[in-house]
Each structure stands twice: as C-alpha cells, then as structure tokens.
C-alpha cells in the first residue's frame, strides 16, 4: 500500500532518539539533552501577550491568505532592512512559510525533476538530502572541511555534475559545525550561481544567534543575488519561537511564485494571531535578543572550557546553537554518543548523522541551562574512565 517514493525516506534520527530517551526517562533515568537545537527559553513576553490578545478576538480564527497578511510580509521586509541592509518587495519577494523546514522540503518538489542534481554540504542539515531524494533528484555532496573553515570548494565540482545541477544549498552560521562566513564568500557564491545558472538556496536559520560581536550577513545583500538566490529564514532560533512554525523564503521572485503555487495546494496558511505576534516580534523591541545571546555565549564558554578539560578539542563558534567537537581517538561518532548516553546520561548528536564528513565528530547544543550543562560535564568527568575504547 505504500508509495515507492516513501522508500527514499527514513524516520528522522531525532524522532527515533526522542523515543529512546522517553523510554529511558519512563524508567526514572535523568537524561541531560544537548542534542537537538530547540531553544529552551521563551520569546519575549510582549510577543506572547500579542498572541494571547489576538487569540481572544472572535474574528481571528478563520482561514488566512496563503501568502500571509501584508503586515507579516512587511515585518519580514523591515527586519531584513534593519538587520541585513537588504531591501525586499513585500508583495513579490517574500513568502511566509510554516517554518523554514516545510519550505525547504517543498521547494525541491516544486523545482526538482528526476535526474536533476542538488549540491548539498556534507555535513549538512538532513532535510536537504531527504527532500532531494523524495523529489527524484540526485544529491551531490560537497565536503565541508575544517581547513577550509567548513565552506565548500565550488571550483572542484565535476563538469558533468555542474551540467545537471539545479540547486546549491548553503547554511551559515552553519548547522552542525557552527562555522561562520563573511560577505566575501557570498560574493563568490553569487558569481558561481549566475555563471552556472544554479539557484543558490541559503538557509539563514541561525543568523541572529551570534556572539563576540559577530554579525552574520545575508546572501541577499550581495549585488545581483536576487537573480540567482533565495534565502530561508525563521523565527525559530532568532526569536525563540520554534514551535510557532514561522518562517519565510525571500529573494528571487520567480522561485517564490513557483513555491506559492505549490503551497496553495498543500496548506491553508498560518493562524492569524500567530502572524500578528510574529510581526510584532520582528518590528518591536529587539534588545532582548542581545541579552538572550549573552546567555548562549556564557553556556558556550562553559562547555568549551569543560570539554577542553576532558582532553577534547571543540570549536569555539561565533554563532549558531552548536559546538562541533572531535571524538576521542579510537571512537566512531555513533559509538561515542551511545557511551555518553548510557554511561553519563548525556545525549549529544553523532556527526555522521549529518553526512559522511561528520564522522569523528559530535554536535553539542547549547540549548540547556548552565546548571544542566555543568551537570553534564560533571557526569562526563565522573564517567571518563569508562570511555577507554576497551571498556565497551
């Protein structure tokens, strides 16, 4: 009874991990979760208050336009002008999404035919690959290596691959490595996209989770970018609104029109109070975000220092919710995560989940409190003697 295309999909890693952890917790085991990047702090109170007030109004509960209301699109444009110095047309260059993940998946169904190639970073966000395969496309992986600051070498793509390539995925600040880039890199990418007639898709989910004075650029700030690029953004990470499912695709008008046509057949838009609260989130007081980032920065510092004390060599990211850390010698990333979970009751994500180039690393999220992070490090320290390879 199952369609053949479903064979291209597997149950996502985090869904399976969550089931396992729930089973452990049901047995009374306390697990510290540093695996998934779901913000643990709420959005600012004025955002929640706006949602509540709007939801109490009797005329706010019907269907809404597939393209969202104008106020929401204008709020996205205002935020892009303020944060990234990018000018966007609210009517032609912005399409709200039910979270950026939904838009990322559906974009492939709208643009990719069987045999088309999608250029995907390795390691990279799982949905890029799953959406490509579901659409019948062929993933071609671009290694992200530490010696290249986890950026792809676009000059080393085989000619026969380039001739079939339709999309290029990028994601900075990066998930899972935490790497960040400058506008110079985006200038090279835009030139690449124009030269090869490839749509550049930039996933900017973490662009407002920044530390040490770093400001993440938007690819749309590059001249001519809108001719060859779209950017996906979301309030999930920037405004602690992951469960609200508020995202957008911005940039190339033709691509946005195509995705809009698909979405009119797939969903029925956002809940109006969510749109009203999201617009307020993007246009009113933003100072709380800097304070939130300072909390993340403090957590990052505690984790990085603690991991170094254990003899590990994590990165020290200037942005994102993740620390990318090599595993001890003699371990695979999966085995190391298994041992951490079973012996230290700490859950982190094996790097190999994100692609072959992620082998030998783990991704550690800073989305738990300082107290939990300190306890996780203490659990690891107390269990460290068990992490010799011959103890398994």
Residue 266 tokens read as: 């797939």
Instruction: Name 291's Cβ contacts closer than 8 Å, sequence gap at least 6.
Output: none
List, for residues 195-218, the tens digit of each pLDDT value: 999 999 999 999 999 999 999 999
**DSSP string computed for 73-110:** HHHHHHHHHHHH-----TTTSEEEESSHHHHHHHHHHH
Model confidence at 294, pLDDT cuts 50, 70, 90, reads very high
Q: Which CATH number fits domain 4-43+287-391: 3.40.190.10, 3.90.1150.10, 3.40.50.300, 3.40.50.2030?
A: 3.90.1150.10
* Contacts with 353 (C-beta within 8 Å, 6 or more apart), sequence order: 13, 126
45-283, CATH topology level = 3.40.640
pLDDT number for residue 12? 72
Segments making up each domain of the chain, as ranges? 4-43+287-391, 45-283
Contacts for 106 with CB less than 8 Å, ≥ 6 apart: 131, 259, 262, 263, 266
Give the sign of the dihedral formed by CA 299, CA 305, CA 310, CA 314: positive
> Could you tell me if 212 and 297 are in contact, meaning their C-beta atoms sit under 8 angstroms apart?
yes
Per-residue pLDDT tens digits for 64-117: 999 999 999 999 999 999 999 999 999 999 999 999 999 999 999 999 999 999
Helices 100-111/253-263 angle, 10° precision: 100
Q: Which tops the pLDDT comparison, 36 or 188?
A: 188
Q: Which two tokens stand for residue 286?
A: 């933003």
Q: Given this model, what pLDDT does residue 207 score?
A: 97
Q: What is the pTM of this model?
A: 0.94
């Amino acid at each position: 009874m199952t369609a053949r295309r479903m064979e291209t999909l597997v149950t996502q890693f985090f869904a399976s991990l969550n089931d396992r952890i729930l089973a452990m917790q049901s047995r009374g085991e306390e697990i510290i979760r540093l695996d998934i990047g779901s913000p643990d702090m709420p959005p600012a109170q004025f955002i929640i208050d706006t949602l509540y007030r709007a939801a109490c109004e009797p005329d706010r509960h019907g269907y809404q336009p597939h393209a969202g209301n104008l106020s929401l699109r204008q709020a996205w444009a205002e935020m892009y002008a303020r944060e990234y110095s990018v000018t966007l047309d609210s009517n032609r260059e912005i399409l709200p999404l039910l979270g950026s993940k939904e838009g990322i998946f559906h974009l492939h169904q709208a643009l990719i035919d069987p045999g088309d190639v999608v250029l995907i970073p390795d390691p990279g966000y799982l949905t890029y690959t799953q959406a490509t395969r579901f659409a019948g496309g062929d993933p071609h992986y671009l290694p992200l290596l530490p010696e290249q600051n986890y950026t792809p070498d676009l000059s080393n793509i085989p000619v026969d691959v380039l001739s079939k390539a339709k999309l290029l995925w990028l994601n900075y600040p990066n998930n899972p490595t935490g790497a960040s880039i400058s506008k110079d890199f985006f200038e090279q990418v835009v030139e690449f996209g124009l030269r090869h007639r490839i749509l550049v898709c930039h996933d900017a989910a973490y662009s407002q989770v920044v530390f040490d004075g770093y400001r993440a650029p938007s690819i749309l700030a590059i001249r001519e970018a809108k001719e060859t690029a779209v950017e996906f953004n979301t309030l999930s990470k920037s405004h602690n609104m992951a469960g609200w499912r508020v995202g957008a695709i911005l940039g190339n008008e033709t691509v946005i029109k195509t995705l809009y046509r698909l979405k009119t057949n797939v969903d029925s838009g956002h809940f109006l109070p969510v749109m009203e609260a999201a617009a307020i989130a993007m246009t009113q007081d933003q100072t709380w975000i800097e304070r939130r980032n300072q909390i993340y920065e403090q957590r990052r510092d505690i984790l990085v220092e603690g991991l170094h004390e254990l003899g590990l060599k994590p990165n020290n990211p200037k942005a994102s919710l993740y620390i990318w850390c090599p595993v001890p010698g003699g371990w695979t990333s999966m085995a190391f995560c298994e041992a951490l979970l079973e012996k230290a009751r700490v859950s982190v994500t094996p790097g190999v989940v994100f692609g072959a180039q992620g082998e030998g690393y783990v991704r550690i999220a800073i989305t738990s409190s300082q107290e939990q992070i300190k306890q996780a490090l203490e659990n690891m320290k107390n269990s460290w003697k068990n992490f010799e390879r011959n103890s398994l």
